[in-house]
Amino acid sequence: MIRVVVVGANGKMGRETLKTVWNAEDMELVGAVDTYGEGTDVGLLIGAGPLEIRLENNLEEVLRRVRPDVAVDFTGPESVYENAQTYLRNGVRPVIGATGLLQEQINEIVEQSEKAGLGGLIAPNFAIGAILMIKFAAEAVRYLPHVEIIEMHHDQKIDAPSGTAIKTAEAILEQRGEQFSQGLPGEIEKIRGARGGDFAKGIRIHSVRLPGLVAHQEVMFGGLGQTLTIRHDSITRESFMPGVLLGIRKVMNLERVVYGLDKLLFEF
């Protein structure tokens, strides 16, 4: 049995993860951490009745007491970096879904995990379909190098652009290369930001935040007399759970943290 702690457990993704781990036959839910709702029985959060596991707000104390194998983190940009260091310091494998980490922070987490010999995962998106979207986009850009990304999320998401959009742009740039630059020289924005954020070499990322959305992304390619759109939609947060389970299971056999669920799908 894989012993799992869920961090950010009182959030929407945290609650979905609690339910998923609780119902997994090869996992044991041993703790739940959140800064809100301390003392609440997690069974009440997932409609399972009392489970005798209560929300706590001292992450390090929980890790030392229950000794989990894996910590699944759905917190936020303001805490995830320090949380990751806490996991590795306590010999716990992190599975991180919170976005907002800077590239230098990701590099440091990977380096620390290698020294500790601990597997882990940082995943901007856990939806299998979203990972396939990124893979297909990287293939399409070989033939249609003009591309823009539109990502759309619920209005409670505080970071923009999304980690998925950044991961998509990285994959596109890696495949397309630096030699190509799109866009009109001297382009004028009448309203600053109207053309989106320029990731690199004219790869524009546009972020939409509206109530009613969950997580959606379009990668739009333009060519001579044609366009191609690759789109993925997460309709409910359940869409992320197969990827979360995959991550929990796979990191048990890794010796360092990897970035992106695609690494587990296509390389291990």
- Block residue for tokens 């260091």: 85
Q: Name the catalytic one among 12, 135, 153, 154.
A: 153
Verify whether residue 263 is a known catalytic residue: no
Q: Are strands 226-234 and 215-223 parallel, antiparallel or unpaired?
A: antiparallel
CATH classification of the domain holding 201: 3.30.360.10
Residues 102, 206 within the same domain: no
Check: CB of residue 177 under 8 Å from CB of residue 170: no
Give the span between the Cα atoms of 99 and 161, in whole angstroms.
Answer: 10
Give the span between the Cα atoms of 157 and 224, in whole angstroms.
Answer: 36
Verify whether residue 157 is a known catalytic residue: yes
Q: What angle do CA 77, 32, 259 make, to 5 degrees?
A: 40
pLDDT of residue 180: 75
pLDDT in tens, the chain (268 residues): 999 999 999 999 999 999 999 999 999 999 999 999 999 999 999 988 889 999 999 999 999 999 999 999 999 888 999 999 999 999 999 999 987 888 999 999 999 999 999 999 999 899 999 999 999 999 999 999 999 999 999 999 988 999 899 999 999 999 998 777 777 778 888 999 999 998 888 899 999 999 999 999 999 999 999 999 999 999 999 999 999 999 999 999 999 999 999 999 987 5
Residues 110, 242 within the same domain: yes
pLDDT of residue 43: 94
Residues 55, 150 within the same domain: no
Which tokens go with 24? 């997994």
- Block residue for tokens 């994959």: 171
Q: Name the catalytic one among 146, 154, 157, 216.
A: 157
pLDDT of residue 268: 58
pLDDT of residue 209: 98
Domain limits at 13? 2-122+238-266
Residues 39, 97 within the same domain: yes
Q: What is the pTM of this model?
A: 0.86
DSSP sequence for 25-47: TTEEEEEEE-SSSTT-BHHHHHT
Domain count, the chain: 2
CATH classification of the domain holding 22: 3.40.50.720
Residues 6+ apart with CB under 8 A from 103: none
